[in-house]
Amino acid sequence: MLTRRELNGLFLASAVPALPPVRASSANSPLLRGLTENLAPLNYLGEAGPAGFSVELLRGMAREAQLRLEIEVQPWVRAVRAAAEMRDSVLFSLARLPERESQYQWVGPISERRILIYRLSKRSELNFTGLNQLQGSRLGVVRESAAGKQLLALGLKPDEEMEWAQDDASNLRKLLASRMEYLVMLDWAAAWQLRQHKLPYSALTPVFELDTRLAYWYGLHPNADPLIRQRLQAALDTLKRDGRYAKLRRQYFED
């Protein structure tokens, strides 16, 4: 779990990648097509293209594994559908849910995942007593997200108690405009998104810890060459052993 110090420091890495661009050893090296969403600071579309911790980590893994890599940032629903149609795809950052286990070849883990339900701190009149007592309040959720699927499984009513959005940025804008009372978001993603509005992390108050059980992973197409998965996992293990993973993580998540 990230500390307040880490949350305040995670924005410092957006301008300087820790790992150099991918340089394939050969034009005949296998091509990997990365598909991801705007979930800063893990992955997002920056001014110079795809950026974020998971993006830079995958670039380093591809370089280590001698794979060519192209990455595209899309709305999550579109990214999921596109990845399902491409055998050379890798979808990220994915929560490794039991129902997804057979849908991907898994590489990871990438990082921890702490999902919270927030309200605006200034909305002190809101009294969250539990998911089964929303009493007409609306909860912002990213469509097709693991958190959304979890909330549906817990019995929340779609389009009544759940306000769908295509990404975290849209959800936060709706909350700030009082179009809903609560939202679901990663703790450090919430801090990142607030920073874009020049607001401190304290502008939000967590009212419920929804999930801390899972981690984020890369998901290769189920029909991808298993050797590609093995090369990527070996590359990630190497980056973790030799300190490059820790160096990259410090740039994104620490002072």
- pLDDT tens-digit readout, 180-215: 999 999 988 898 899 889 999 999 999 999 999 989
pTM of the model: 0.72
18 by DSSP, 3-state: which? coil
Average pLDDT over residues 92-102: 93
Residue 99, Cβ neighbours under 10 Å: how many? 9
Supply the CATH classification number for the domain 115-211. 3.40.190.10
How far is the C-alpha of 247 from the C-alpha of 243, rounded, in Å?
A: 6
Q: Is the pLDDT of residue 133 over 70?
A: yes
How far is the C-alpha of 239 from the C-alpha of 253, rounded, in Å?
A: 17
State the architecture of 4-22+31-112+214-253 in CATH terms.
3-Layer(aba) Sandwich (3.40)
Q: Where are the beta strands (DSSP E) in 75-220?
A: 89-95, 105-112, 115-120, 139-142, 162-165, 182-186, 204-211, 215-220
Give me the pLDDT at residue 26, please. Answer: 61
Same fold, 4-22+31-112+214-253 and 115-211: yes
Comparing CA positions, the residue from 86, 125, 91 lying closest to residue 105 is 91
Give the start-to-end residue ranges of the domains of the chain. Answer: 4-22+31-112+214-253, 115-211
What is the spatial order of strands in the sheet that 139-142 belongs to?
162-165, 139-142, 182-186, 115-120, 204-211
Q: Is the pLDDT of residue 24 over 80?
A: no
- pLDDT tens-digit readout, 69-90: 999 999 998 999 999 999 999 9
